[in-house]
Amino acid sequence: MDIKQSLILNNVWWQDKKINPEFLLNKKRDEFNTIIQKLDEKRILSIIGPRRVGKSTLIYQAIDYLLNTLKIDKKRILFFSGDDPTLFFNENDKLSNVLEVYFDEILKESFTNLKSKVYIFIDEIHFIKNWQNYLKIYFDRKYNVKFIITGSSSLHLFKDANESLLGRIENIYVLPLTFQQFLNFHRAYVAKKDDIIIPKFDLDNPEESFTKLEQLYENKNLQLTINEILNEYVLVGGYPEYFENRDIDVWQKLLLDDIITRGIYKDILTMYNIRSPEVLEKLLYYIAANNSQTFSYAGMTSNFNIDTITLISYVGYLKQAFLINVLENYSTNVGKVIRANKKLSILDNGIQNSLLKKKTLSDDDIGHIIESMLAFDIRLLSEKENYNEYYYKNTKKEEIDIIVDRKIDIIPIEVKYKNKIETEDTKTIKNFCDSYKDKILGKVNYGIIITKNILKKQDNIYFIPYSLFNL
């Protein structure tokens, strides 16, 4: 099949056909609005996230928006994938060849003299050799083209592209659904009802946010609905494809086969020369079995018969592929941060349960999962707001699950996911708040304890159920 014919098959709207509804879904992620707001901006827009998280769906939804809402000329919208063997059969096939066929034989306009803007969507662009160099040329020549690209993880898009595309590219991270997003997907697919909007907890205005949560919490029926959906989310995780088949056996097999196995053996191995991919897979299982626990790299090496440098690299690959979270121990001494143990957790709880083959969860399981879910929430916030995230453990073995370093202040967050919280449970976070209350930089104004069903304020500590903690 030649390039032109392949492009025609991929871009059905050129023939006045509608996009297959299965590609569009009946619910849009929050990131959709961000994408359409940036379609008129000049910079390349990159959509980054793990496989099967919904990046391709977002592309089709954006194309549908251009066609049916903005009424863009159908021939001025191009879509193709970097792993399409009909376009890129070997490494000598170039991105420029595809674009030349499109402009010369489909659009029949010159790159240099376009009548109006052209929108080019390239899925899985990291499979195309030297893609960043081609996009740099097109961008710097100021052609009237908007590129929207996707990649399976940040390691793909940034391994060689940081320097060449600096200032030319803007990134949107698309990760597994947060609980708020899962809640509304569940309402759309299962209950066929409108969204439930849990007010954002504004870290700059905690008192105002807490008052809004108190008002919401008065509706006991609503809270019961939210908790029921939370119990499902804790087990299955945040990949949107779950709603196409809510069978837990089928779902966990799909997570293992498509996201874990292919994510490691296809995505990571395409970028790095890993001698022992099976060790990388075992490392992921090890982290799942010890989720949200602290580790020393030196202590872990004996479990995998690899050196410390290799282990650190493998942990980095898993983090950049959005499979795990890594937290450093908080300290004002940079040297101590580097030397201290790390806290590792699986990013998506559905993946963790699939790895461990858990179809039911104990209270202890749920407590650890809520902690890892909180770490995921804070990672999303930190990447968006340029914060840093840590955990805290001192020489007395006193520990706080999450420290949010906002540069001007820090916010300690502790998980106590149980029906009753004793005075002893709050001692560490209160002592931490007192120790840092007079700092100029790194000052603590308040702390947060994530609970199962308790909503209250005690001194400068906010107790908030995880189900209502929407960042």
Distances (CA, A) of 358 to 92, 351, 353: 45, 10, 5
Is the residue at 433 inside a domain? no
Residues 223 and 138 placed together within one structural domain of the fold: no
Within a domain: residue 448? no
414 forms beta bridges with 449
Residue 404 lies inside a defined structural domain of this protein:
no
pLDDT at 168: 86
* pLDDT value of position 131: 87
Q: Are residues 44 and 167 in the same domain?
A: yes
* HEC per residue, 291-304: CCEEECHHHHHHHH
Q: Do the Cβ atoms of 289 and 344 come closer than 8 Å?
A: no
Domain presence at residue 167: yes
Does one domain contain both 45 and 103?
yes
- Whether 418 maps to a domain, the answer reads no
- Same domain for 113 and 233, yes or no, is no
Last residue of a domain, one of 151, 173, 195: 173
Domain assignment present for 336: yes
Same domain, 155 and 186: no
Bridge partner residues of 24 (DSSP): none
Same domain, 265 and 369: yes
Domain shared by 244 and 358, yes or no: yes
User: Are residue 152 and residue 240 in the same domain, yes or no?
Assistant: no
DSSP string, 30-54: THHHHHHHTTTSSSEEEEE--TTSS
Scan for tokens 């837990």, then name that residue: 248
In CATH, what number is assigned to the domain containing residue 373?
1.10.10.10
Query: Residue 453 falls within a domain, yes or no?
Result: no
**Same domain for 166 and 221:** no
Last residue of a domain, one of 137, 152, 173: 173
List Cβ neighbours of 342 (8 Å cut-off, separation of 6 or more): 294, 295, 296, 297, 315, 326, 327, 328, 329
What burial class does residue 26 get, using C-beta atoms within 10 Å of its C-beta: 0-12 exposed, 13-18 middle, 19+ buried? exposed
Report pLDDT for 22: 81
Looking at 153, 173, 193, which one is the last position of a domain?
A: 173
Q: What are phi and psi of 361, to 5 degrees?
A: -125, 140
* CATH code, 109: 3.40.50.300
Together in a domain, 146 and 191: no
Domain holding 14, by residue range, is 3-173
Strand partners, 170: 45
Same domain, yes or no: 270 and 344? yes
Structural domains counted in the chain: 2
Give me the residues of the chain with pLDDT under 50, please: none
Whether 458 maps to a domain, the answer reads no
100 and 237 assigned to the same domain: no
Cα separation values, 323 from 58, 250, 342, Å: 21, 20, 16
